[in-house]
């Protein structure tokens, strides 16, 4: 039976969940995987936390060199999060020939190239299933299950916090601020929710998933990002009346060798499977040229779901004869021509305008002058004297064209304000 020594860097929520799974299921792994996985060292300064989990304190230290220099440790799992000291510790581990397992999406999105170089130097492996969509095996699906395909598109809900907030706003009419507060109280959102609600977390994940899907480095700076903090219940409700549901989606597409990657709020048809993904759940659509559409669904966060993905990677890494690495991530020069930044989308635009003869005609002229076709126009009643809400849904239009159109519209004397500009996806 193969014996594998493992070190855990940190015993926070996910680190603790991983420790519990590894210790509780050690005999089970021997029986089902023919592997004896032993936690040999833990890097943790919170002794009380170690005692709560029943950890043998003789294996606990704060010295990364003691971990890296232990010849019996083959795999190091990291739970610190953020960039430092995780980056320094993991590069040191990789160069020493230790394979790494991590859920650290920010680190991978920003420093994957450095980690790749260190792994190559030490002949070690990189395993990061838990970095994207928690316990849902999205990375293994891309790398081990869809090799027979050119991946054409990724579209998904990959941040549980924003999905919980938008679901609350849609299903209960809860205001954004109250939905965010509820997410924080339930532990879905941090005290500082910026990474989630402004789309950074989803952008990290989309950078990683797109790189894997298209076998090409998709840097974080090439991922368009827009958050949900300006979304109102009013627009969500109007969208529902128009047969659409609002989600924060991560979308990437590969068209004729050119890649577009974007994270932003988007209306999808209420009949689309992603529209029914509620609460903190995640779901991802993958489209391959052979398999067509497949969908993965599950919990995107939490101690045990994420710990499940970490442990899966530990077992997967332990069984590999050749460590997993990604040579395409060694690319340091990025060709801007390989990426689409001015992408096309349908748009939902809500304005308030003076209820005066000729105002709507002037607005329509601006759309026409910029070659923006309108699929629908809805003028709604308003309690405000002389000011009415008007909703436009456009055909597919480039981002630059919509920006120019909206800017011109906002300068019209009869237009009170541009209240919302939200993209619409139908395919």
pLDDT recorded at residue 144 = 92
Of 105, 205, 216, 346, catalytic: 205
pLDDT digit string, tens, across residues 59-70: 999 999 999 999
SS3 assignment, position 15: helix
Q: Which residues pair with 345 in a beta bridge?
A: 397
Q: What is the largest CA-CA distance in the chain?
A: 83
Average pLDDT, stretch 14-19?
92
| pLDDT value of residue 124 | 98
Q: Which of 114, 143, 187 is nearest to 286 (CA)?
A: 143
Q: Is the pLDDT of residue 383 over 60?
A: no
385: pLDDT confidence band, cut at 50, 70 and 90? Answer: low
User: What band does 386 get if pLDDT is binned at 50, 70 and 90?
Assistant: low
Least confident of 90-99, 195-204, 357-366: 357-366
145-194: per-residue pLDDT in tens?
999 999 999 999 999 999 999 999 999 999 999 999 999 998 888 899 99
Instruction: Locate 303 and state its tokens.
Output: 């101690």
Identify which of 414, 281, 328 has the alpha carbon closest to the alpha carbon of residue 120: 328
Assign 218 a pLDDT band (cuts: 50, 70, 90). very high
- Is residue 302 predicted with pLDDT exceeding 80? no
pTM attached to this predicted model = 0.94
Nearest-angstrom CA–CA distance, 353 and 9: 57
Indicate if 320 belongs to the active site: no
Q: Are 224 and 261 in contact (CB under 8 A)?
A: yes
Q: Which domains does the chain have, with CATH numbers?
A: 2-131 (3.40.50.720), 138-298 (3.30.360.10), 344-424 (3.30.70.260)
């Amino acid at each position: 039976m193969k014996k594998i020594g493992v070190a855990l860097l940190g015993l926070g929520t996910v680190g603790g969940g991983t420790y519990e799974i590894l210790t509780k299921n050690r005999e089970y792994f021997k029986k089902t995987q023919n592997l004896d996985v032993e936690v040999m060292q833990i890097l943790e300064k919170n002794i009380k936390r170690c005692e709560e989990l029943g950890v043998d304190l003789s294996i606990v230290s704060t010295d990364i060199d003691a971990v890296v220099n232990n010849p019996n440790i083959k795999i190091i799992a990291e739970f610190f999060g953020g960039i430092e000291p995780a980056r320094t510790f993991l590069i040191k581990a990789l160069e020493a020939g230790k394979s790494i397992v991590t859920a650290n999406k920010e680190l991978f999105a920003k420093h994957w190239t450095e980690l790749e170089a260190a792994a190559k130097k030490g002949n070690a492996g990189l395993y990061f299933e838990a970095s994207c969509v928690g316990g849902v095996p999205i990375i293994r699906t891309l790398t081990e299950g869809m090799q027979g395909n050119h991946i054409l598109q990724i579209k998904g809900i990959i941040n549980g916090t924003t999905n919980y907030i938008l679901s609350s706003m849609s299903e209960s009419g809860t205001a954004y601020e109250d939905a965010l507060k509820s997410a924080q109280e339930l532990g879905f959102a941090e005290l500082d929710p910026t990474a989630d609600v402004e789309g950074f977390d989803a952008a990290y994940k989309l950078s990683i998933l797109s790189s894997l899907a298209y076998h090409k480095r998709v840097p974080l700076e090439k991922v368009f990002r827009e958050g949900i903090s300006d979304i109102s219940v009013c627009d969500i409700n109007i969208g529902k009346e128009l047969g659409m549901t609002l989600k924060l989606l991560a979308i990437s597409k590969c068209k004729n060798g050119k890649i577009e990657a974007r994270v932003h709020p988007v209306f999808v048809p209420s009949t689309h499977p992603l529209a029914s993904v509620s609460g903190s759940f995640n779901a991802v659509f993958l489209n391959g040229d052979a398999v067509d559409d497949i969908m993965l669904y599950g919990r995107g966060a939490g101690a045990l779901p994420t710990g499940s993905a970490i442990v899966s990677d530990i077992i997967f890494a332990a069984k590999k004869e050749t460590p997993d690495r990604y040579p395409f991530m060694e690319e340091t020069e990025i060709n801007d021509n390989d990426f689409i930044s001015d992408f096309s989308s349908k748009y939902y635009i809500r304005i308030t305008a003076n209820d005066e003869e000729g105002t709507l005609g002037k607005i329509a002229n601006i759309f026409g002058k910029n070659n923006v076709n309108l699929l629908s126009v809805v003028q709604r009643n308003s309690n405000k004297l002389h000011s009415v809400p008007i909703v436009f849904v456009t055909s597919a239009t480039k981002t630059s064209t919509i920006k120019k159109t909206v800017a011109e519209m906002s300068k019209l004397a009869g237009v009170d304000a541009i209240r919302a500009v939200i993209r619409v996806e139908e395919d």
